[in-house]
Amino acid sequence: MKITVFDDHQALSFQVAQMMVAQIKNKPDSVICLASGETPFLAYHLLPTLLLDEGVDHQQFTLIGLDEWVNIPSQNTGSCSYFLHTTLIGPLKLSLSQFKLFDGMAPDLQTECDSMDEFISKRGGIDLMVVGIGMNGHIGFNEPGVSTELYAHVIDLDDTTQTVGQKYFADKTTLGQGITLGLKHLQEANAAILMASGDRKAHIMKATLEGPIDPLIPSTIIRNHPNGLVMLDQKAASLLT
Ligand code: F6R
């Protein structure tokens, strides 16, 4: 695992976007799994222009949505699906066969998990994952204490995630469960970028990088990844020794 600290969120986002461009340029049929949320928003926003500027063919890569809120329709502006549609799928005009997102409204969520696992394995696994980190150390919706051996699964969201998650929604919303790729996917991905930005992530980044590797802080697993990159801005890195 490698750690890189950037001056600010802008510099961090630009570098992540450039790494995504490089991934697609080097392997046009890459499978790329992406988190939603405030942290990667700017990187995704920058991506279409960078791809265009570099003349990179982006009609062959596959985008996988990392996770979704259970019982939240994709049209809800707070859903991960809505986020990925508005930031990337729409602007890049990805074809229907080029992306797969969890449906948090699916009548059978286990089938939804199986379908995602099969989709990924049929494409030879994930080339690059770009993930954020929750205030409790979650990656995707892999909440504290989750098994590191799971692929896609449904999970009860912990109190922190339910509370912090309100920031994505226009009105108070009940957030009980999430559907998410598992930590096994992260471990098996060819490369993984963990992004963190801002003062509010400083404590969890210290625990992630300097405490024991602990299932109660799922993000610590990135330290075992041979191609794990932790990319932080100075604020998120401010408590590191
Ligand atoms: C969302 C996801 C979450 C977020 C994390 C940080 O798809 O996977 O794990 O990455 O909660 O969210 P932000 O970036 O909004 O601070």
Task: Given the cut 0.95, state whether the ipTM is greater than it.
Answer: yes
- Both tokens assigned to 45: 């926003």
Q: What's the structural domain count of the chain?
A: 1
Q: Please provide the size of the chain in residues.
A: 241
- Which ranges of the chain have pLDDT less than 70? none
Determine the structural domain holding residue 212 and report its residue range.
2-233
Each residue's pLDDT tens digit, 126-139: 999 999 999 999 99
Q: Is residue 240 part of a domain?
A: no
Each residue's pLDDT tens digit, 174-194: 999 999 999 999 999 999 999
Q: Is residue 228 part of a domain?
A: yes
Q: Is residue 51 part of a domain?
A: yes
**Residues noted as catalytic:** 67, 136, 138, 143
Q: Is residue 241 part of a domain?
A: no
Spatial distance between the Cα atoms of 112 and 106, rounded to a whole number of angstroms? 7
Q: Is residue 40 part of a domain?
A: yes
Q: Is residue 238 part of a domain?
A: no
Each residue's pLDDT tens digit, 3-32: 999 999 999 999 999 999 999 999 999 999
Q: Is residue 180 part of a domain?
A: yes
CA of 38 to the centre of ligand 1 (A): 7
Q: Could you please report the per-residue DSSP string of 163-206?
A: HHGGGG-SS-----EEEE--HHHHHHSSEEEEEE-SGGGHHHHH
pLDDT computed for residue 7 by the predictor: 98
- The pocket around ligand 1, CB under 6 angstroms, is made up of 35-39, 66-67, 80, 131-134, 138-140
Q: Is residue 62 part of a domain?
A: yes
**Residue 119's CATH number:** 3.40.50.1360
- Whole-model pTM: value is 0.98
